[in-house]
């Protein structure tokens, strides 16, 4: 090789070496910069709020009834042939995990557009057409109810049906469901019928028709039980119904959604902040229930009506909202709640569904189910009073229950930024606090929710991990609840 060629080769090697060094230095600089930024971010902890909790362990309110937890469905869910079945093991497991008692509410807008044909072909439709249910659909529902131990509240067609057809349907439902039947409801959201061009525009016209339907049903089922009036927003209708019906009904029923899915109010921030108007409504319901001697139930409820808001109703935020709502309802003496789920009146699976199912009938738990599961674990004993003292603004609430020799404290931190450091003076005779956490990667996570460190498996099983230990010092428990999470604290004698 000549000297010219040798020099050219050397120049190429130098150029390659120089380019490598430049690339190495640039990569090294980027890595160091990222490490520094990462360290700075880790050093920037979330704002911390100190919270002191006082627990009244002596004065206990009433306990939740065994069937407090419930689900709500449009009647079209029953017309599906691959969902409510006695051999749907995953769905049965998801139900029984919440309790061996519960209430399934069948109704919704579709109930006012449903026809029962014993030997007909079942048909699943939206509220703009007719849904058909048949004898086999009812037999499948009955088998499912027996397998879970839950009962069924059944809604009848007051909107587009007749009292004669409802009496025939009620007789079939009672015969097939047997002791799994809880009660009948006549009509859905009767206070909104005028809006949807159905029959009734005022309470008196509704109530006179209600009485006609009830008489027709009692003629064939003298021992039939009823609940109602199933109002959406119009509280005076419920108050008038309670005054007229008194103890002729098992439950007074009301619905709740934070807002409509298409509303500008359908935001995560709005869902998680306190709804003072609804607290007032719960207080009103409690008063009417006390005066009439009839318990009340929120038998249709979820985040935003119309199927929920994607990116809000299907996120971990819904789990925290659900747990907080159920605890709040229990404080006001509510008989129970039915979280709306599955296919909606528009014909698709709602974003807010705690449980969703695929076309083959397989089911899976979504974030909101974890909120229900947390309540099932810690929220159903006798209610105890709690007092919070916060050292600054933080969207945090706390509830307590006592069951046998255990006290449960439920702390829900719905704040988007602030962590909480809590101090709880231990009630006399109680110690050994253990922590079970409800958490997810972030508030807007649609996956990754866990309770007690465990996910619900594809077959519906939830096996909690070991509880976390809690520091006790000076007769008090000290523990943290990060933002966008909840903690269940168990105290034992």
Q: Is residue 17 part of a domain?
A: no
231 or 19: whose pLDDT is higher?
A: 231
Q: Is residue 321 part of a domain?
A: yes
CATH value at residue 398:
2.60.40.1180
13 or 288: whose pLDDT is higher?
A: 288
Per-residue confidence (pLDDT) for residue 44, from 0 to 100: 59
Q: Is residue 133 part of a domain?
A: yes
Q: Is residue 97 part of a domain?
A: yes
57 and 82 part of one domain: no
Per-residue confidence (pLDDT) for residue 195, from 0 to 100: 60
User: What is the tens place of the pLDDT at every residue in 220-237?
Assistant: 999 999 999 999 999 999
362 and 401 part of one domain: no
Q: Average pLDDT of the chain? A: 91
| Structural domain total, the chain | 2
Domain termination site, one of 324, 352, 378: 378
Which residues span the domain enclosing 471?
A: 48-61+382-492
Q: Is residue 246 part of a domain?
A: yes
Per-residue confidence (pLDDT) for residue 70, from 0 to 100: 98
Q: Is residue 330 part of a domain?
A: yes
143 and 131 part of one domain: yes
| Coil, strand or helix at 461 | coil
Residue 6 pLDDT exceeds 60: no
**DSSP state, 493?**
-
pTM over 0.75: yes
What is the C-alpha to C-alpha distance for residues 440 and 280, in angstroms, rounded to an integer? 31
User: What is the tens place of the pLDDT at every residue in 332-384?
Assistant: 999 999 999 999 999 999 999 999 987 776 899 999 999 999 999 999 999 99
403 and 323 part of one domain: no
Which residues are CB-neighbours of 338 under 8 A, at least 6 positions away?
70, 71, 72, 103, 104, 105, 153, 297, 298, 299, 300, 301
- Mean predicted confidence (pLDDT) in 381-394: 95
463 and 333 part of one domain: no
156 and 243 part of one domain: yes
DSSP string computed for 18-45: HHHHHHHHHHHHHHHHHHHHHHHHHHSP
Q: Is residue 232 part of a domain?
A: yes
- Mean predicted confidence (pLDDT) in 286-307: 98
396 and 373 part of one domain: no
Per-residue confidence (pLDDT) for residue 37, from 0 to 100: 38
Which range (13-17, 307-311, 340-344) has the least confidence?
A: 13-17
Strands (E), 68-150: 69-74, 103-107, 114-116, 131-133
305 and 448 part of one domain: no
Domain termination site, one of 378, 404, 432: 378
249 and 299 part of one domain: yes
Q: Can you say how many angstroms the Cα of residue 177 is from the centroid of all Cα atoms in its chain?
A: 26
Domain termination site, one of 378, 393, 411: 378
CATH value at residue 335:
3.20.20.80
């Amino acid at each position: 090789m000549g000297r010219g060629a040798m020099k050219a080769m050397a120049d190429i090697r130098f150029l390659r070496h120089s380019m490598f060094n430049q690339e190495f230095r640039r990569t090294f600089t980027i890595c160091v910069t990222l490490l520094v930024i990462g360290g700075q971010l880790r050093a920037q902890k979330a704002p911390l709020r100190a919270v002191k909790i006082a627990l009244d362990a002596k004065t206990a309110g009433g306990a939740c009834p065994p069937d407090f937890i419930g689900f709500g469905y449009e009647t079209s869910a029953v017309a599906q042939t691959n969902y409510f079945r006695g051999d749907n093991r995953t769905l049965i497991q998801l139900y029984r995990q919440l309790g061996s008692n519960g209430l399934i509410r069948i109704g919704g807008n579709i109930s006012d557009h449903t026809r029962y044909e014993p030997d007909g072909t079942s048909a699943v439709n939206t509220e703009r057409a007719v849904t058909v249910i048949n004898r086999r659909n009812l037999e499948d529902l009955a088998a499912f109810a027996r397998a879970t131990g839950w009962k069924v509240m059944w809604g009848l067609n007051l909107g587009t049906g007749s009292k004669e057809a409802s009496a025939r349907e009620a007789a079939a439902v009672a015969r097939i469901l047997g002791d799994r039947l809880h009660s009948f409801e006549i009509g859905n959201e009767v206070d909104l019928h005028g809006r949807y061009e159905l029959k009734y525009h005022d309470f008196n016209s509704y109530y006179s028709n209600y009485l006609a339907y009830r008489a027709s049903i009692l003629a064939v089922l003298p021992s039939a039980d009823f609940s109602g009036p199933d109002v959406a927003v119009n509280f005076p209708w419920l108050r008038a119904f309670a005054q007229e019906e008194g103890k002729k009904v098992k439950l007074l029923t009301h619905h709740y959604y934070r807002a409509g899915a298409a509303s500008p109010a359908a935001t995560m921030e709005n869902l998680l902040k306190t709804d003072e108007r609804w607290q007032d409504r719960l207080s009103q319901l409690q008063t009417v229930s006390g005066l009439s001697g009839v318990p009340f139930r929120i038998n249709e409820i979820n985040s935003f009506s119309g199927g929920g808001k994607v990116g809000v109703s299907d996120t971990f935020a819904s789990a925290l909202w659900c747990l907080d709502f159920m605890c709040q309802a229990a404080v006001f003496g509510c008989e129970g709640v039915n979280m709306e789920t599955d296919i909606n009146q528009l014909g698709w699976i709602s974003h807010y569904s705690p449980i969703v199912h695929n076309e083959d009938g397989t089911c899976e738990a979504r974030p909101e189910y974890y909120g229900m599961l947390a309540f099932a674990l810690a929220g159903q004993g006798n209610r105890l009073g709690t007092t919070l003292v916060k050292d600054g603004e933080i969207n945090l609430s706390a509830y307590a229950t006592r069951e046998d020799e255990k006290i449960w404290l439920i702390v829900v931190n719905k704040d988007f930024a602030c962590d909480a450091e809590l101090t709880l003076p231990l009630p006399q005779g109680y110690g050994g606090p253990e922590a079970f956490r409800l958490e997810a990667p972030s508030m807007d996570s649609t996956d990754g929710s866990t309770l007690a460190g465990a996910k619900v498996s594809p077959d519906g099983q939830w096996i909690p991990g070991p509880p976390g230990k809690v520091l006790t010092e000076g007769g008090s428990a000290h523990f943290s609840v990060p933002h966008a999470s909840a903690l269940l604290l168990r105290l034992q004698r």
